[in-house]
């Protein structure tokens, strides 16, 4: 098993006729991703890499069933495309674009919550269930350089670091069950808690590596979730950025910033809370693989 | 951060129905004195710079005579406030304040919604006050898809402890401010203090508006107002940062560069948000002093890499250069490296003495390896070389530690 995505998952590609999608669709298909249809406004009837294209999500859904829509859509049009998928009843949406306006992201996440739609992203590099399927940019043309099937769930706010630490695991002979890039923006849909909850139920996942970042309470919530028994498998975490805590940054220059954060968001606090919850926190990147090995009982 | 200057913030607030006092912009002591006269002889002069905590920097002054207005304007115009030289002043009608409230709107990443923050006890020490008395900060989350009606704002102000007459005015101000937050794609707006005057009227004692950089494409008029005075969010741009901005502008829609100059001596061109941050943390642990941070989004980046390396290596006092990025999915490593190789060849330094350590992996790695081999003595590494190997290596070589000569 994997979470959210496997070889059976029926994937819709929005923005299918764009340059990025044309380049990525073949790599996803080669890897085993079950792409059922594409959507591009005004391009209904075209075909991309053997995939039928429809002008709207609703039109595509009249001919196909879809479990997940992945958005190869520029930032400024992502709100509309995501809302189209949500309104059409697609159960999960992966928003890839970086730089989506915050107000747009907020609207999308609010509407998704109402509709019960799972949103991964925005600013997500995609998802990968090694040996089964991949969506988005993750793995790109060289998936085997980074990923191999195995027992470790990987979840990261940073797409680059998720790929980098998956590569380190793969080089050490440790495979992954699923990798999810939850997105690097201030406002994202699925957070660590959501993903941990799914990894908990996945019998193939024996251990999770989570990569956090400064800012927001996402890691604090994960710590609380783990401490309260929501996630019972071993977790290895890394959160860089403690060295910046005393540096002058724009966030410290308004009362509002200080009031909304009130100490939350600092890597030192996140690491402390995670440690208190029993998480193995790596201070350095090269500590991750040995910690995972130990967690898997393969020291 | 895209923080508007206070006069522009007050303009937006006034247009959205948030009460603001009279104000003028002055660029000289004479103009400040003239503004004082128009504002009925009592005013506050503030430095017009895109940063906060001006009062604590001595850049806010109450004046009530022409002489004082001229002398204080001259004094403040000579200041540099948190790295920003003062070029213009805001002259604002002095207020007869009897109570100060705090009001702001921002996004709450936990609830994934806008949130209104209000305190019946505002002022410059709001953070300390709320730390001591958290019950004095009231929060109203807003469903962005449903909007915010005035009655909810008025009710919120009453629940924060205000009497009906004050709550009505504050509620209207909150309502106007939220409309402004939505219409102009703001990241954050703050009114501190929201002031109750001796006559019972409520007005804004100041205004801060931070725009969403990711939404500026919808607001070209506001983007113009930001200008270069913004700097990088906490200080004006350095000469090198201005040069890199120009390089970035050659094709603003492809391969956007983020660059900050720091005062260290190792050229640090390690891109990828999480990877760059992790590497920077490791570099500083190793005792390395970064001369910059750098990020570039994937795209046709050869030319930008070429120009950036050339510009950066012109910075005096550099002892080495490290170039890397997290494993690439698509962005061709050889395109990046082609730009680097061109720059390093043209600069023609002795790379035995000026260490350059490079680590890339992803599509095009083999071609990149061949290209890099054309420049003698540059260290090339691939995926097996971790970010810790990378940072240790550049520190050892740049500072000649652990016998860190070229291999």
pLDDT digits over A162-178, tens only? 999 999 999 999 999 99
The residue whose two tokens read 């995505």 is A5
User: Which CATH fold topology does B237-398 show?
Assistant: Rossmann fold (3.40.50)
Smallest CA–CA separation between B37 and chain A, in Å?
32
Report CA-CA distances (Å) from A93 to A28, A35, B196: 16, 14, 47
| Cβ–Cβ under 8 Å, residues A47 and A72 | no
Per-residue confidence (pLDDT) for residue A78, from 0 to 100: 98
Angle of CA points B369, B372, B374, to nearest 5°: 120
Residue predicted with more confidence, A275 or B128: A275
Q: Is B34 on the interface with A (CB under 8 A)?
A: no
CATH code for the domain defined by B22-93: 3.30.1490.20
The residue whose two tokens read 């792409």 is A35
- State the number of CA atoms in the 13 A half-sphere of B33 facing the CB: 10
Residue predicted with more confidence, B222 or A247: B222
Please identify among residues 219-258 of chain B the ones whose CB lies closer than 8 Å to any CB of chain A. 233-234
| Cβ–Cβ under 8 Å, residues A5 and A129 | yes
pLDDT bucket at B254, cuts 50 / 70 / 90 = confident
| Cβ–Cβ under 8 Å, residues A179 and A128 | yes
Helix axis angle for A267-276 and A218-227, nearest 10°, is 10
**Closest residue to B274, CB basis, from A101, A157, A242:** A157
ipTM: 0.94
CATH 3.30.1490.20, chain B: domain bounds: 22-93
Per-residue confidence (pLDDT) for residue B126, from 0 to 100: 86
| Cβ–Cβ under 8 Å, residues B312 and B292 | yes
Question: Between 3.40.50.261, 3.90.1150.10, 3.30.930.10, 2.40.30.10, what CATH number should domain A10-295 receive?
Answer: 3.40.50.261
Count of other CB atoms within 10 angstroms of residue A226:
26
- Of the listed A64, A102, A103, A255, which one is catalytic? A255
pLDDT bucket at B251, cuts 50 / 70 / 90 = confident
- Asked whether the predicted pLDDT for residue B407 surpasses 50, the reply is no
Chain-chain contact of B208 with A250 (C-beta, under 8 angstroms): no
**Closest residue to B234, CB basis, from A75, A186, A248:** A248
* Model confidence pLDDT, tens digit, residues B201-237: 999 999 999 999 999 999 999 998 887 666 776 788 8
Alpha-carbon span B267 to B271, nearest angstrom: 12
**Closest residue to A253, CB basis, from B52, B109, B363:** B52
CA B365, chain centre distance (Å): 35
Domain ranges across chain A: 10-295
What is the architecture of the domain spanning B97-226? 2-Layer Sandwich (3.30)
CATH 3.40.50.261, chain B: domain bounds: 237-398
* Model confidence pLDDT, tens digit, residues A68-125: 999 999 999 999 999 999 999 999 999 999 999 999 999 999 999 999 999 999 999 9
Q: Is A290 on the interface with B (CB under 8 A)?
A: no
Please identify among residues 45-74 of chain A the ones whose CB lies closer than 8 Å to any CB of chain B. none
pLDDT bucket at B51, cuts 50 / 70 / 90 = confident
Q: To the nearest whole percent, how much of chain B has pLDDT over 70? A: 97
| Cβ–Cβ under 8 Å, residues B291 and B318 | yes
pTM of the predicted model, to two decimals? 0.94
Structure tokens at B151: 């009655």
Per-residue confidence (pLDDT) for residue B406, from 0 to 100: 45
- Asked whether the predicted pLDDT for residue B10 surpasses 80, the reply is yes
Name the average pLDDT for chain A: 94
CATH 3.30.470.20, chain B: domain bounds: 97-226
């Amino acid at each position: 098993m994997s979470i959210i995505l496997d070889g059976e998952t029926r994937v819709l590609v929005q923005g299918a006729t764009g340059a990025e999608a044309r380049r990525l669709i073949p790599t996803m298909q080669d890897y085993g991703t079950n792409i059922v249809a594409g959507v591009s406004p005004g391009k209904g009837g075209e075909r991309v890499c053997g995939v039928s294209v429809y002008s709207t999500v609703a039109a595509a859904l009249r001919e196909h069933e879809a479990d997940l829509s992945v958005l190869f859509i520029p930032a400024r049009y992502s709100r509309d495309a995501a809302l189209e998928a949500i309104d059409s009843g697609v159960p999960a949406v992966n928003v890839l674009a970086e730089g989506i306006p915050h107000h747009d992201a907020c609207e999308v996440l609010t509407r998704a919550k109402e509709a019960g739609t799972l949103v991964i992203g925005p600013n997500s590099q995609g998802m990968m269930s090694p040996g089964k399927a991949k969506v988005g940019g993750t793995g790109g043309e060289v998936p085997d350089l980074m990923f191999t099937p195995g027992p470790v769930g990987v979840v990261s706010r940073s797409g680059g670091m998720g790929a980098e630490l998956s590569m380190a695991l793969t080089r050490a002979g440790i495979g992954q069950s699923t990798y999810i890039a939850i997105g690097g923006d201030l406002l994202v849909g699925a957070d660590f808690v959501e993903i941990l909850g799914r990894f908990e139920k996945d019998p193939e996942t024996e251990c999770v590596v989570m990569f956090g970042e400064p800012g927001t309470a996402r890691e604090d919530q994960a710590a609380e979730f783990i401490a309260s028994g929501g996630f019972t498998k071993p977790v290895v975490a890394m959160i860089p950025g403690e060295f910046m805590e005393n540096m002058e940054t724009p966030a410290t220059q308004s009362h509002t910033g200080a009031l909304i954060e009130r100490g939350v968001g600092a890597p030192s606090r996140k690491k402390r809370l995670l440690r208190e919850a029993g998480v193995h926190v790596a201070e350095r990147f090269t500590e991750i693989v040995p910690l995972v090995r130990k967690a898997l009982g393969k020291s | 951060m895209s923080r508007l200057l206070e006069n522009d913030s007050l303009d937006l607030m006034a247009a959205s129905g948030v009460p603001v006092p009279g104000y003028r912009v002055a660029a000289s002591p004479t103009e400040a004195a003239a503004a004082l006269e128009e504002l009925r002889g009592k005013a506050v002069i503030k430095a017009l710079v895109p940063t906060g905590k001006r009062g604590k920097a001595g850049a806010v002054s109450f004046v009530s005579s022409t002489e004082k207005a001229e002398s204080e304007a001259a004094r403040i115009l000579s200041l540099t406030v948190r790295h920003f030289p003062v070029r213009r002043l805001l002259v604002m009608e002095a207020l007869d304040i009897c109570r100060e409230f705090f009001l702001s709107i921002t996004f709450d990443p936990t609830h994934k919604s806008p949130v209104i923050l209000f305190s019946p006890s505002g002022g410059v020490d709001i953070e300390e006050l709320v730390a001591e008395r958290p019950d004095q900060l009231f929060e109203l989350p807003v469903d962005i898809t449903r909007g915010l009606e005035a009655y909810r704002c008025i009710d919120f102000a009453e629940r924060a402890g205000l009497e009906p007459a004050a709550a009505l005015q504050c509620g209207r101000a909150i309502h106007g401010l939220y409309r402004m937050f939505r219409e102009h794609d703001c990241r954050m707006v703050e009114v501190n203090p929201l002031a109750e005057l001796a006559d019972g009227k409520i007005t804004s004692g100041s205004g801060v508006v931070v725009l969403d950089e990711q939404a500026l494409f919808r607001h070209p008029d506001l983007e113009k107002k930001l200008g270069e005075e913004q700097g990088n969010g906490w200080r004006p741009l350095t000469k090198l940062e201005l040069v890199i901005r120009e390089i970035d502008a050659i094709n603003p829609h492809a391969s956007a560069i983020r660059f900050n100059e720091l005062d260290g001596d190792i050229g640090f061109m390690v891109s990828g948000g999480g990877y760059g941050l992790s590497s920077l943390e490791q570099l500083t642990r190793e005792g390395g002093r970064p001369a910059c941070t750098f990020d570039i989004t994937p795209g046709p980046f050869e030319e930008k890499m070429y120009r950036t390396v050339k510009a950066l290596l012109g910075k005096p006092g550099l002892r080495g250069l490290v170039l890397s990025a997290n494993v690439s999915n698509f962005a061709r490593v050889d395109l990046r490296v082609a730009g680097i190789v061109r720059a390093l060849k043209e600069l023609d330094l002795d790379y035995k003495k000026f260490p350059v350590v490079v680590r890339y992996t992803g599509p095009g790695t083999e071609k990149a390896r061949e290209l890099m081999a054309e420049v003698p003595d540059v260290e090339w590494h691939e995926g097996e070389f971790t970010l810790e190997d990378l940072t240790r290596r550049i520190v050892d070589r740049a500072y000649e530690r652990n016998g860190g000569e070229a291999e």
